[in-house]
Amino acid sequence: MKLQRNGRTKALAIGAVALVSSLSLAACGSDNNTTKTTSAASGGASSAAAITCAAKQASLQGAGSTAQGNAIDVWKAAYGDACSSSQVSYNGVGSGAGVAQFNQGKVAFAGSDFALKSTDIDASKAVCQNGGQAIDLPMVAGLVTLVYNVDGVNNLILDGPTSAKIFDGQITKWNDPAIAALNPGVTLPADAIQTFHRSDDSGTSYNLTSYFAKTSGGAWSYPASKTWAGKGGQSATGSAGVAAQIKQVKDSIGYVELSYAQNNGLKTAAIKTGASKPVDATAANAAITLNNSTVIGTGNDLALQLDYGTSAENAYPIVLVTYEIACDKGNAPATLDSLKSFFTYIASNGGQQAIADKGYVPMPSAVATKVQAAIGNLS
C-alpha cells in the first residue's frame, strides 16, 4: 500500500546499505557540549560511536513501537553511559498508543512503525508550539518475519495469498493443499493451525497487512491497518507477547520483527515473491527492498514508501521502517537539546551499526543524510 502525502514524491537514488562512513555529529546547544566516545559493544556491536551530550541535559521519555524496542534498549544504554544526566526511558506500548501519547504531550518523542496520518499531524499542532507539527524521522529499519512452531518443518515457504488466507482463517490445517504446493517433499501435519496476531494497534500489523493487501490477490479483503481485522486466531500484546506464544504453542504461526525471532530462537518462513527462488527472512535481503524506498514526505518530514510487492532477486518483501516522531518546531524547551543530541547519535553511523547484529538494517545512506539534516533543523 502506498502512503499518500501532500507534495511531490521525491525519489531517492539509494546505493549500498552502509551509511556514509563519518556522519558529522553536530553539537546541540552551546560550545560547552561534551563529546564522549562510547563503545557500541554494550549493544553487541564492536564499533565505537562519538556521542555529543547536550549542553542542557535532560532525561527523555518516549513511547510507542515495540518493533524498535530492542534497538532503543541498545541506544539508551550507550547514550546514558555517555550522558549521565540525559537518561532515556521508553515504553513499548505499540505505535498507535505511542503517537497518541505524543499528541497528548506525555512524551518527548514517539516511535511508530507507520508514517503519521493527516489526522495525527493535525492533532500534533496542539502540542507542537510556534506553529510546529509532528514529523516522521525514519530511524530503524527491519523486517516482519512469519514465525512458526511446527515439529519436523524447518524450511517453510509461504506466499502472499496463502499467508493471508492462513491469518484470515480461510486455511485452517497445516497440510492444506495450498501450503503443500509451496513445500514439495515436506511432510506437513494434519493439525489445526494456531494463528497469533497483535491485540494492540501495531505498526507491525500495518506492515504485514500492507503486504497482504498488495500481494494476496484479494484473499485479504481488508485495508492495511494498524488494527487487526482478520478472522479467528488468538491475540497477544506486543511483539514480545506474540513471540512468547509462538515459542510455547505447537502448530502455531504469528508475525514479529526479526530481532524478536532471533532472540527467541523461532523458525521463520521464506517468502515466494516471483523471484527465481523463495527469499529468506534476513536483514541483508530486507536491505535490498529498503534500498528501493522513496521519500514521500515534504520538508523535514521523511515518510517513506515501501514496495511490499517486490519480485526483485533476493529482496525480502515484508519490510518495515520505524520512525521517531517529534515536532519540527515547538518541541519542549526543557528537553530539546537532549532530544537533538540523542537523535543525532542514533542516526549516526555508530548508532546504526550498534543495532546491526540485533536483526535490524542500517538505514540506507541517502535516507540517513536527510535524517541528519532534519534533526539539525528541530527547534
Question: Tens of pLDDT along the chain (379 residues)?
Answer: 333 333 333 333 333 333 333 333 333 333 335 566 554 433 333 345 689 999 999 999 999 998 899 999 999 999 999 999 999 999 999 889 999 999 999 999 999 988 999 999 999 999 999 999 999 999 999 999 999 999 999 999 999 999 999 999 999 999 999 999 999 999 999 999 999 999 998 889 999 999 999 999 999 999 999 899 999 999 999 999 999 999 999 999 999 999 999 999 999 999 999 999 999 999 999 999 998 898 999 999 999 999 999 999 999 999 999 999 999 999 999 999 999 999 999 999 999 999 998 889 998 888 899 999 999 999 9
Q: Is the separation of the CB atoms in 352 and 362 below 8 Å?
A: yes
303 and 281, same structural domain?
no
2 in any annotated domain: no
- Count of domains observed in the chain: 2
149 and 252, same structural domain?
yes
110 and 50, same structural domain?
yes
Distance (Å, rounded) from C-alpha 68 to C-alpha 238?
Answer: 11
**CA–CA distance from 198 to each of 46, 116, 119, 241, 255 (Å)?**
34, 20, 23, 8, 9
Examine the fold and report which residue of 270, 285, 300 is the final residue of a domain before the chain moves on. 285
281 and 158, same structural domain?
yes
Kind of pairing, strands 60-64 and 109-112? parallel
Give the pLDDT of residue 11.
37
Distance (Å, rounded) from C-alpha 307 to C-alpha 289?
Answer: 7
Give the pLDDT of residue 170.
98
159 and 116, same structural domain?
no
- 275, three cell numbers: 523471484
103 in any annotated domain: yes
Q: Where do the DSSP E strands lie in 191-295?
A: 194-198, 234-236, 252-257, 267-268, 270-271, 294-295
Examine the fold and report which residue of 254, 285, 316 is the final residue of a domain before the chain moves on. 285
Give the pLDDT of residue 37.
54
Distance (Å, rounded) from C-alpha 9 to C-alpha 13?
Answer: 13
Give the pLDDT of residue 346.
96
Q: Which of 133, 131, 114 is nearest to 67 (CA)?
A: 114
Give the pLDDT of residue 161.
98
Q: Which of 196, 183, 331 is nearest to 252 (CA)?
A: 196
158 and 125, same structural domain?
no
264 and 326, same structural domain?
no
Distance (Å, rounded) from C-alpha 82 to C-alpha 273?
Answer: 44
193 and 68, same structural domain?
no
The distance of Cα 89 from the centroid of its chain, to the nearest Å, equals 18
64 in any annotated domain: yes
10 in any annotated domain: no
Q: Domain holding 359: CATH number?
A: 3.40.190.10
318 and 241, same structural domain?
no
195 and 150, same structural domain?
yes
The CB-side HSE value for 258 (13 A sphere, CA atoms) comes to 25
8 in any annotated domain: no
15 in any annotated domain: no
69 and 81, same structural domain?
yes
359 and 311, same structural domain?
yes
118 in any annotated domain: yes
Domain of 254 in residue numbering reads as 143-285
Helix, strand and coil in the chain, % to nearest 5: 30, 20, 45
Rounded to a whole number of angstroms, the distance between the first and last alpha carbons of the chain is: 32
Distance (Å, rounded) from C-alpha 113 to C-alpha 97?
Answer: 12
Reduced to 3 states (helix: H, G, I; strand: E, B; else coil), residue 272 is coil
30 in any annotated domain: no
Give the pLDDT of residue 23.
30
Examine the fold and report which residue of 258, 285, 312 is the final residue of a domain before the chain moves on. 285
